[in-house]
Chains A and B, each alone.
Chain A
């Protein structure tokens, strides 16, 4: 390679290390699902319902079966014989794999074709004749519990309405009533967080390869929790878990979209079991948007109050639209996820939250898209309410936040809804954002522009979120504890391999986890191989979502590295003929205190461990360790974000001119990767705030089922993000790190919407507008009649 001036930083440990995984991706040599071809492989395609709610009278597959190149057409009847027509969901509901009695959302899976190639499979779909009898539809969550609403889940015994999950509460209702009774100022808002979609660039799919001779099921599947999926398939398909192997290879983005088990996966597995050959199924983009796990869709009613200039109380009532099946993904004891972190970053007197979930004739899902288990919804709500309260109190919204923040000496802080925040210095983080933004200068500019009829807005948000689920006594998914493992082996040559259960979909794990080992053991990152994405060769764990890789797997790798280091100490003591207490550590080496020339490097200790030399009493001849990490708590990153927008006074088009993000995610293992994660989430936040939405008409037709109508920001909609940092280490994490993947999605939409309202409040009296803030919606707000999305 040319000796051109490049980044020379090559830290052994934390730092801005360039990524090891880049090597294959920049050459186009990644192995994504559709890149894999197996001998004898056939292709699957799913026939989907055009109706949102309809009885299935009959399915005629004869013409499809006769089409050249078609091998099989599977329907619910075929799956029933395998016990696979329905599958359990993460929320302890059931979901149809292929619809039998009726279809319950547009895009629902009805039949599965297996053919020679994807072109023929698609042709065959058109030849399947389904006779539907349409039923009344309900797509408005507010109407789902009306007396005359059609019953969607008549498949469930005892289900007489569209309630998906009983009322869930947090906080103290009485104390909250008292706070409101004592308040100076109260504001009320109806705020919607509309349905949107993670839409990773690579759609979902699977290759299922069942070997009838051996009973081995090999699965290739980009999913964010391969170990958990393996356990689910064993349970659902009645297969032996030790005979299932899931390999993820490279995944083209996840963002929570690749957490659930989808009907297409079960069909591919069933198809392979029946046909005895590999079956590849990959959805197209419209299938991805119309049927896979969407995000958000929270209809919220909130009141917030203040006394003596400080925020004192919050009351929130939520209708959660879960779609036709309850397949939201969150820890069992938290059916509304972590929404009750809606108490926010403020030292409240009291708060009360209640959430009820309903079924509607729409695709199932709700927890996805970097939401930290509903924290995106919670922070959006609280940060919009803080601005609403500031408007009512006629105070600067930043000042209201500053006066109401939890103070640094109050940590660990127990919130009114049961969270224990670990650490933070909120005012410092907020000040840093204001400094980078030049807040006072921006306010001056705004005043000048307003005098000329130009509309500019400055919006703030401050968030505290909780990530890194979680402690096994509180947090499980489908009964599987949310703990993650790490195995570390140091080879005789001193090179190492660390196997982890986290599952990267672009987060740079092959680099950052090597950096953790490097930091703890002094083995250079290029000498540490990170093994992941293969359930046969990695420890058990619950995977990557909810920003948990650093808090949980990162901690596991730190702990396992320290175990190896401690073993190395004992071996070094034997090598150096001294006592372990007499040794001190410098990165890569144990040495004798007081005689630093006398020491043993980690490579030497490894070589010794595998040689025939005598080991310390009771220790086996290897240099390795295994750990399953049980986090003692979540970690609580925070951040202060400031958006600067310009609104065209005539067309109402919104431009995000600047975006300042100051994140406090504790210690940063690789700042370059942390910043990259933040950039990406901010772009997604711009999309959600301005253009991304999944809507339906009254018949339940999905109106945003392609990238022509599900709009994702391009490079032209994203400003040059300005980042800053404060560092408040996590007191309970071995590295002091907190995790950051979802923070930008959590913090950015409220900052943008607050900015838009800030631009329009004085001149047009706008006090609320719901996302997405498209030109049409902003214009309607400017005319004095903002409309909610549905």
Chain B
């Protein structure tokens, strides 16, 4: 069946089977391999993208279910050569090692700050509690999101 999704503001059309998972649809789109997968049971969160501004696990969604909705992936964060504050925060605070969980973490962080611009450490940990990182032990991810929260307003002003 023909499935047309809006990914990062662009319409992407492809003829796929109904069973094609959203994560595979995204990853088969040129330039969009930033969204990863890491498990079979919706536990790891490496596949997190935003649908209508809310984090979802793209491995547990059919591409066909997403027509009519806005999908945003990690590739949408940098705009016009300007990194998103969450991306800057992860770099400033060493919030990544191997980088495999990072796109999902970035999208959840972005959605969190959009809804709650000044989250506590507890709120950040809760927001990312559906996503596994094997490398960082989470401490620096929390610091990275806090950095983004603290600097976002100034970054927006400068830009």
Are the C-beta atoms of B36 and A26 separated by less than 8 Å?
no
Are the C-beta atoms of A1 and B83 separated by less than 8 Å?
yes
A255 at the interface (CB under 8 A from B): yes
Given contact pairs A28-B35, A29-B34, A201 touches B154 in the complex (Cβ within 8 A): no
- What count of chain A residues pass the 8 Å CB interface test? 62
Bound CA–CA A1/B36 (angstroms): 27
Are the C-beta atoms of A253 and B134 separated by less than 8 Å?
yes
B151 at the interface (CB under 8 A from A): yes
Pick from A25, A200, A252, A718: contact of B137, CB under 8 Å: A718
Given contact pairs A707-B44, A715-B129, A681 touches B137 in the complex (Cβ within 8 A): yes
Are the C-beta atoms of B129 and A714 separated by less than 8 Å?
yes
Residues in A696-712 with C-beta less than 8 Å from chain B:
706-708, 712
B102 at the interface (CB under 8 A from A): yes
B75 at the interface (CB under 8 A from A): yes
User: Which stretch, A503-511, A531-539, A591-599, touches the partner chain B?
Assistant: A503-511
Distance in Å: Cβ of B135 to nearest Cβ of chain A: 5
Bound CA–CA A32/B102 (angstroms): 13
B106 at the interface (CB under 8 A from A): yes
Pick from A34, A119, A507, A682: contact of B97, CB under 8 Å: A507
Given contact pairs A35-B33, A251-B98, A721-B139, A708 touches B41 in the complex (Cβ within 8 A): yes
Bound CA–CA A679/B139 (angstroms): 7
B88 at the interface (CB under 8 A from A): yes
| Residues from chain B with Cβ under 8 Å of A721 in the complex | 137, 139
Distance in Å: Cβ of B137 to nearest Cβ of chain A: 3
Bound CA–CA A527/B16 (angstroms): 46
A71 at the interface (CB under 8 A from B): no
Distance in Å: Cβ of A258 to nearest Cβ of chain B: 11
Bound CA–CA A716/B121 (angstroms): 10
Bound CA–CA A259/B102 (angstroms): 23
Given contact pairs A26-B87, A720-B121, A683 touches B137 in the complex (Cβ within 8 A): yes
Bound CA–CA A660/B20 (angstroms): 46
Binary interface encoding of chain A residues 706-734 relative to chain B, with 1 for a CB under 8 A from any of its CBs, else 0: 11100010111010110000000000000
Bound CA–CA A266/B44 (angstroms): 28
User: Which stretch, A2-10, A74-82, A299-307, A607-615, touches the partner chain B?
Assistant: A2-10
Are the C-beta atoms of A202 and B141 separated by less than 8 Å?
no
| Residues from chain A with Cβ under 8 Å of B139 in the complex | 679, 718, 720-721
Are the C-beta atoms of B155 and A676 separated by less than 8 Å?
no
Are the C-beta atoms of A680 and B46 separated by less than 8 Å?
no
Given contact pairs A202-B36, A676-B94, A26 touches B106 in the complex (Cβ within 8 A): yes
Pick from A1, A252, A679: contact of B98, CB under 8 Å: A252
Residues in B73-98 with C-beta less than 8 Å from chain A:
73-75, 77-78, 82-83, 87-88, 90-92, 94, 96-98
Given contact pairs A4-B158, A6-B92, A203 touches B136 in the complex (Cβ within 8 A): no
A586 at the interface (CB under 8 A from B): no
Are the C-beta atoms of A285 and B82 separated by less than 8 Å?
no
| Residues from chain A with Cβ under 8 Å of B129 in the complex | 714-716
Q: How large is the interface on B (under 10, 10 to 19, 20 to 34, 35 or more residues)?
A: 35 or more
A19 at the interface (CB under 8 A from B): yes
B52 at the interface (CB under 8 A from A): no
Are the C-beta atoms of B34 and A28 separated by less than 8 Å?
yes
Binary interface encoding of chain A residues 25-68 relative to chain B, with 1 for a CB under 8 A from any of its CBs, else 0: 11111101011000000000000000000000000000000000
A146 at the interface (CB under 8 A from B): no
Q: Secondary structure at chain B's binding surface: helix, strand, loop or mixed?
A: loop
**Closest A residue to B125 using CB positions:** A715
Binary interface encoding of chain B residues 102-142 relative to chain A, with 1 for a CB under 8 A from any of its CBs, else 0: 11001000000000000001001110111111111111111
A420 at the interface (CB under 8 A from B): no
Are the C-beta atoms of B97 and A508 separated by less than 8 Å?
yes
A357 at the interface (CB under 8 A from B): no
Distance in Å: Cβ of A475 to nearest Cβ of chain B: 27
Bound CA–CA A718/B142 (angstroms): 11
Bound CA–CA A133/B90 (angstroms): 54
| Residues from chain A with Cβ under 8 Å of B132 in the complex | 201, 707, 712, 714
Bound CA–CA A28/B75 (angstroms): 6
Bound CA–CA A27/B103 (angstroms): 8
Given contact pairs A2-B159, A6-B92, A707-B41, A28 touches B74 in the complex (Cβ within 8 A): yes
| Residues from chain B with Cβ under 8 Å of A24 in the complex | 99
A672 at the interface (CB under 8 A from B): yes
Are the C-beta atoms of B138 and A683 separated by less than 8 Å?
yes
Are the C-beta atoms of B137 and A680 separated by less than 8 Å?
yes
Are the C-beta atoms of A4 and B155 separated by less than 8 Å?
yes
Are the C-beta atoms of A19 and B134 separated by less than 8 Å?
no
Are the C-beta atoms of A26 and B96 separated by less than 8 Å?
yes
Distance in Å: Cβ of A3 to nearest Cβ of chain B: 7
Residues in A637-684 with C-beta less than 8 Å from chain B:
672-673, 675-684
Bound CA–CA A4/B98 (angstroms): 26
Are the C-beta atoms of A28 and B100 separated by less than 8 Å?
no
Bound CA–CA A732/B108 (angstroms): 46
| Residues from chain B with Cβ under 8 Å of A32 in the complex | 33, 36, 100
Are the C-beta atoms of A203 and B99 separated by less than 8 Å?
no
**Closest A residue to B46 using CB positions:** A201
A22 at the interface (CB under 8 A from B): yes
Are the C-beta atoms of A680 and B159 separated by less than 8 Å?
no
Given contact pairs A201-B133, A679-B137, A28 touches B142 in the complex (Cβ within 8 A): no
Are the C-beta atoms of A250 and B17 separated by less than 8 Å?
no
Distance in Å: Cβ of B94 to nearest Cβ of chain A: 5
A688 at the interface (CB under 8 A from B): no
Are the C-beta atoms of A676 and B134 separated by less than 8 Å?
no
Distance in Å: Cβ of A392 to nearest Cβ of chain B: 34
A199 at the interface (CB under 8 A from B): yes
Distance in Å: Cβ of B157 to nearest Cβ of chain A: 9
Are the C-beta atoms of B82 and A2 separated by less than 8 Å?
yes
A286 at the interface (CB under 8 A from B): yes
| Residues from chain A with Cβ under 8 Å of B32 in the complex | 28
**Closest A residue to B157 using CB positions:** A2
B40 at the interface (CB under 8 A from A): yes
B43 at the interface (CB under 8 A from A): yes
| Residues from chain A with Cβ under 8 Å of B11 in the complex | none
A18 at the interface (CB under 8 A from B): yes
Bound CA–CA A508/B102 (angstroms): 15
14 further A-B contacts with Cβ under 8 Å, apart from A3-B158, A26-B91, A28-B73, are A2-B154, A2-B158, A7-B92, A30-B34, A201-B36, A201-B101, A202-B38, A250-B98, A253-B134, A506-B97, A678-B137, A707-B39, A715-B141, A718-B139
Q: Can you report 16 A-B residue pairs in the complex whose CB atoms are below 8 A from each other?
A: A22-B91, A22-B99, A27-B83, A27-B87, A28-B103, A32-B100, A200-B98, A201-B134, A203-B38, A252-B98, A252-B99, A285-B44, A506-B98, A506-B99, A678-B137, A706-B40
Which residues of A approach B to under 8 Å, CB–CB? 1-7, 18-19, 21-30, 32, 34-35, 119, 199-203, 250-253, 255, 284-286, 505-508, 672-673, 675-684, 706-708, 712, 714-716, 718, 720-721
The 3 closest A-B pairs by CB, nearest first: A28-B34, A506-B98, A25-B99
Which residues of B approach A to under 8 Å, CB–CB? 17, 19-20, 27, 32-41, 43-44, 46, 73-75, 77-78, 82-83, 87-88, 90-92, 94, 96-103, 106, 121, 124-126, 128-142, 151, 154-155, 158-159
